[in-house]
Structure 1
Amino acid sequence: MGSLVLVHKIMLYLWFVAWICLGLCSAYNENNCTSNEIGLGTRYSCKSTQDSCETFVVYRANKNFNTISSVSKLFNKSSDEVLLKNNLVSSSLSLVLRQGKEVLIPVNCTCSGTYYQTSLSYRVLDNTTFSEVACGVFEGLLSRLTLAEENLSQGNEPEAGSELHVPLMCVCPDSENSTWSKKVKYLVTYPLIAEDDPDKVSQKFQISPGEFCAVNNLNSKSTVYPNTVVLVPLEDGPIRILDLPDSPSPPPGFLPTNPVNKSQQYIKPSHLYIAGCVIGFLLLITLLASGFYIKRLRKIEVVHSFSPTNSLTLWSPTRSSQISTQTGKSNTTWCLSPDLLVGIKYYLLNYTIEELQKGTKNFSQENNISSEGDFVYKGRVNDVEVMVKRMRLEDTRKVIDLHSKINHINIVNLLGVCYGESNDSWSYLVFELPKNGCLRDCLSDRCNPLNWYKRTQIAFDIATCLYYLHCCSFPSYAHMNVSSRNIFITADCRGKLADVGRALAASATLSKSNNGVEIPKGLVAPEFLSHGSVSEKVDIFAFGVVLLELISGRENFDGKAMKDSLGFLLGEASEGGCFEGLWSFMDPNLKDYSLPEALCLSFLAKDCVADDPLHRPSMDDIMKVLAKMV
Structure 2
Amino acid sequence: MGMERQIFRELSRTTNVFGLKLWTVITVGAVAVIFVTIVVVFWLLCSSSSSQRSPKSSSSRKKELSSGTRNTPPSCCCYAHTLLERRSRHQAERESADDPLTCISVTVSTKTGDSNPILPPTDLGWGQSYSLREIEIATNGFADETLLGEGGYGIVYRGDLPDGTLVAVKNLLNNKGRAEKEFLVEVEAIGRVRHKNLVQLLGYCAEGTQRMLVYEYVDNGNLDQWLHGPLAETNPLTWQARMRIVLGTAKALAYLHEALEPKVVHRDIKSSNILVDTSWDAKVSDFGLAKLLGSDKSHVTTRVMGTFGYVAPEYCSTGLLNERSDVYSFGVLLTEVITGRDPVDYSRATGEVNLVDWLKQMVASKRSEEVADPQMKVKPTTRTLKRAILVALRCVDPDAQKRPKMGHVVHMLEADDFPF
TM-score range, shorter chain: 0.5 to 0.7
CA distance in 2, matches of 1:614, 1:556: 23
Alignment pair present for 1:443 and 2:227: yes
Q: Which residue in the other structure is 1:489 paired with?
A: 276
2:357 to 563, 566, 579: 563
Q: Which residue in the other structure is 2:167 paired with?
A: 386
Within 5 Å, give how 1:288-367 maps onto structure 2: 346-353=126-133, 355-356=135-136, 359=139, 362=142, 364=144, 367=147
Alignment pair present for 1:374 and 2:153: yes
Cα-to-partner distance string for 1:131-178 (whole Å, 9 max, x where unaligned): xxxxxxxxxxxxxxxxxxxxxxxxxxxxxxxxxxxxxxxxxxxxxxxx
AA in 2 matched with 1:469 = L
CA distance in 1, matches of 2:298, 2:130: 33
Q: Using the TM superposition, give the Cα deviation of residue 502 of structure 1 relative to its aligned residue in structure 2, in angstroms.
A: 2.9
CA distance in 1, matches of 2:159, 2:146: 14
| RMSD value, Cα | 2.8
Q: Which residue in the other structure is 1:600 paired with?
A: 387
- Cα gap change, 1:553/1:407 in structure 2, threshold over 3 Å: closer, same or farther? same
* Length, aligned pairs only: 278
CA distance in 2, matches of 1:616, 1:360: 47
Alpha-carbon contact 2:132-2:207 (below 8 Å) kept: no
Q: Which residue in the other structure is 2:106 paired with?
A: none
AA in 2 matched with 1:386 = V
Alpha-carbon contact 2:336-2:343 (below 8 Å) kept: no
Alignment pair present for 1:401 and 2:182: no
- Cα gap change, 1:397/1:598 in structure 2, threshold over 3 Å: closer, same or farther? same
Structure scoring higher RCO (CA < 8 A, sep ≥ 6) equals 2
AA in 2 matched with 1:377 = V
- Cα gap change, 1:601/1:360 in structure 2, threshold over 3 Å: closer, same or farther? farther
AA in 2 matched with 1:479 = H
Within 5 Å, give how 1:134-533 maps onto structure 2: 346-353=126-133, 355-356=135-136, 359=139, 362=142, 364=144, 367=147, 369-370=149-150, 372-382=151-161, 383-391=164-172, 392-421=179-208, 425-444=209-228, 445=231, 446-507=233-294, 511-514=299-302, 516=303, 518-533=305-320
Q: Which residue in the other structure is 1:251 paired with?
A: none
Q: Using the TM superposition, give the Cα deviation of residue 538 of structure 1 relative to its aligned residue in structure 2, in angstroms.
A: 0.7
CA distance in 1, matches of 2:328, 2:122: 41
- Cα gap change, 1:510/1:502 in structure 2, threshold over 3 Å: closer, same or farther? farther
CA distance in 2, matches of 1:365, 1:557: 32
Q: Using the TM superposition, give the Cα deviation of residue 568 of structure 1 relative to its aligned residue in structure 2, in angstroms.
A: 2.2
Alpha-carbon contact 1:480-1:538 (below 8 Å) kept: yes
Cα-to-partner distance string for 1:65-116 (whole Å, 9 max, x where unaligned): xxxxxxxxxxxxxxxxxxxxxxxxxxxxxxxxxxxxxxxxxxxxxxxxxxxx
Alpha-carbon contact 1:361-1:367 (below 8 Å) kept: no
Q: Using the TM superposition, give the Cα deviation of residue 614 of structure 1 relative to its aligned residue in structure 2, in angstroms.
A: 1.4
CA distance in 2, matches of 1:545, 1:394: 28
AA in 1 matched with 2:156 = Y
Structure 1 or 2, whichever has the larger Rg, is 2
Alpha-carbon contact 2:139-2:146 (below 8 Å) kept: no
CA distance in 2, matches of 1:463, 1:448: 24
Q: Using the TM superposition, give the Cα deviation of residue 358 of structure 1 relative to its aligned residue in structure 2, in angstroms.
A: 6.0
CA distance in 2, matches of 1:611, 1:618: 15
Alpha-carbon contact 2:312-2:328 (below 8 Å) kept: yes
Q: Using the TM superposition, give the Cα deviation of residue 367 of structure 1 relative to its aligned residue in structure 2, in angstroms.
A: 2.2
CA distance in 1, matches of 2:223, 2:416: 19
Q: Which residue in the other structure is 2:401 paired with?
A: 614
Q: Using the TM superposition, give the Cα deviation of residue 412 of structure 1 relative to its aligned residue in structure 2, in angstroms.
A: 0.2
AA in 1 matched with 2:299 = S
Alpha-carbon contact 2:276-2:282 (below 8 Å) kept: yes
- Structure 1 unaligned blocks of 5 or more: 1-318, 323-334, 338-345
Alpha-carbon contact 2:222-2:273 (below 8 Å) kept: yes
Q: After the TM superposition, which of the residue ranges 502-511 and 549-558 deviates more from structure 2?
A: 502-511
AA in 2 matched with 1:584 = E
Cα-to-partner distance string for 1:445-487 (whole Å, 9 max, x where unaligned): 1222221111111111111111111111011111111111100
Q: Which residue in the other structure is 2:372 paired with?
A: 586
Q: Using the TM superposition, give the Cα deviation of residue 408 of structure 1 relative to its aligned residue in structure 2, in angstroms.
A: 0.9
AA in 2 matched with 1:587 = D
CA distance in 2, matches of 1:502, 1:629: 35
- Cα gap change, 1:588/1:360 in structure 2, threshold over 3 Å: closer, same or farther? farther
Q: Using the TM superposition, give the Cα deviation of residue 523 of structure 1 relative to its aligned residue in structure 2, in angstroms.
A: 2.6
Higher helix content, 1 or 2: 2
Higher strand content, 1 or 2: 1
Alpha-carbon contact 1:569-1:603 (below 8 Å) kept: no
CA distance in 2, matches of 1:556, 1:456: 18
- Cα gap change, 1:556/1:367 in structure 2, threshold over 3 Å: closer, same or farther? farther
CA distance in 2, matches of 1:368, 1:404: 22
So what's the TM-score if we normalise by structure 1? 0.41
CA distance in 2, matches of 1:483, 1:360: 31
AA in 1 matched with 2:218 = P
CA distance in 2, matches of 1:438, 1:427: 24
Q: Using the TM superposition, give the Cα deviation of residue 520 of structure 1 relative to its aligned residue in structure 2, in angstroms.
A: 3.9
- Cα gap change, 1:356/1:483 in structure 2, threshold over 3 Å: closer, same or farther? farther
CA distance in 1, matches of 2:293, 2:220: 31
**Partner-residue secondary structure (3-state), 1:369:** strand
So what's the TM-score if we normalise by structure 2? 0.60
Give the percent of matched residue pairs that are identical in Structure 1 and Structure 2. Answer: 25
- Cα gap change, 1:360/1:629 in structure 2, threshold over 3 Å: closer, same or farther? farther
Q: Using the TM superposition, give the Cα deviation of residue 621 of structure 1 relative to its aligned residue in structure 2, in angstroms.
A: 1.9
Q: Which residue in the other structure is 1:546 paired with?
A: 333
Q: Using the TM superposition, give the Cα deviation of residue 518 of structure 1 relative to its aligned residue in structure 2, in angstroms.
A: 3.8
Alpha-carbon contact 2:269-2:310 (below 8 Å) kept: no
Alpha-carbon contact 1:355-1:381 (below 8 Å) kept: no
CA distance in 2, matches of 1:591, 1:321: 52
